[in-house]
Amino acid sequence: MSAVLERTEVLIDTPESLQVALPVTGELMQKIKLPGAVLVAEAYEIDSSDMAQLAANERTGWAKRIDDLKAMQRDFVEPARLILERAKKWWNPPIADLEAGREILGKKLLEWDQKEKARIIAENTAREAIARKLRQEAEAKAAAERARAEEQAREARRKAEEAERERLRAEAEGNARAAAAAAAARAKAEEAERAAIENGEARAQEAQLQAAAQVAAAPVAEPVKISGQALRDNWIAELLPGITEDQARALIVAEAANRPELLGVLKLDTGAVNKMAKALKGAMRVPGFAAQNRPLLAGARK
């Protein structure tokens, strides 16, 4: 079965050209020159109220300069931001379309692979059932051939025994001709016995070989290999049916008493602990943590 797919391409508006000039000037480079604030701050020795005021004034001046530099930075990177926004507008849709299409085909290929595996299992199961039936029929036929051969051999043995008795009687009576005839009859019967056994075994083996040939002739179903695609194991952890994340977390905590390695799957939310510290202050009670007051210096920009 074949199908012809008509390709559909969706065009998006694209620019003929895009030129952006970044405002790099000598004045700008002078303004963003490294001010050496770290060296100045490290040189400060705050040992009096006057020095403390000087340090506070320095911080205020630096805060204002930080604001000015950030504003200049925004103006400088605005053209680059426009490039990034337009790049997203032009390139993201076709990339997203290709990724979505690739994902759809991937799911369909996985579905097809599952169906192929089910088909192969079903076909090989049916093949094995037929092979088992052929082997059973061959065993039954072989057993019947051996039984028939044994019956023929038994009849031949009876005739050989009867001929032997006839020979002994003829010898006792001094009838040499009758004794020789009886001996010949016995030999013929013994040969018939051996032939019956051999022929029966040959027919039994022939039946088994024919069945084996029929089994070997039946092809084994194998998966079709698709060029450019390969399946690999992808083990993932999923919640059990009826178990929520909170319930799973509680189960892990309980089990971790005997299996400490399970603690590694529990993520410590320090942000939530900090929020509790801000709200409860010294009254916060979280195992392994203590609320500490670390004052921050708030400075003016005027």
Q: pLDDT tens digits, residue range 69-124?
A: 888 888 777 877 887 888 788 888 888 888 999 889 888 888 888 888 898 889 88
pTM of whole model > 0.85? no
Please compute the mean of the pLDDT values over residues 213-223 and round it to a whole number. 78
Q: How far apart are CA 173 and CA 244, in angstroms?
A: 106
Q: How far apart are CA 225 and CA 221, in angstroms?
A: 13
Residue 11 has pLDDT above 50, yes or no: no
Domain boundaries, the chain: 50-217, 245-283
Instruction: Show Cβ contacts of residue 169 under 8 Å, excluding neighbours closer than 6 positions.
Output: none
**pLDDT at residue 28, as a whole number:** 64
Q: How far apart are CA 37 and CA 45, in angstroms?
A: 15
Q: How far apart are CA 132 and CA 1, in angstroms?
A: 33
How high does pLDDT run on average in the chain?
82
> What is the crossing angle of helices 49-173 and 176-217, to 10°?
160
Select from 248, 263, 223 the least CA-distant residue to 114. Answer: 223
Helix, strand, coil share of the chain (percent; to 5): 70, 0, 30
For the record, the structure tokens of 136 come out as: 């059973």
Q: What is the DSSP string of 194-221?
A: HHHHHHHHHHHHHHHHHHHHHHHHSPPP
Each residue's pLDDT tens digit, 242-288: 989 889 888 988 888 888 888 888 888 889 889 999 999 999 998 88
For the record, the structure tokens of 254 come out as: 């309980």
Tell me, what DSSP letter sits at residue 16?
A: S
pLDDT over 90 percentage in the chain: 7
Q: How far apart are CA 190 and CA 159, in angstroms?
A: 8
Please compute the mean of the pLDDT values over residues 162-185 and round it to a whole number. 86
273: exposed, middle or buried (Cβ count in 10 Å: 0-12, 13-18, 19+): middle
* Amino acid present at 174: G
Q: How far apart are CA 151 and CA 221, in angstroms?
A: 44
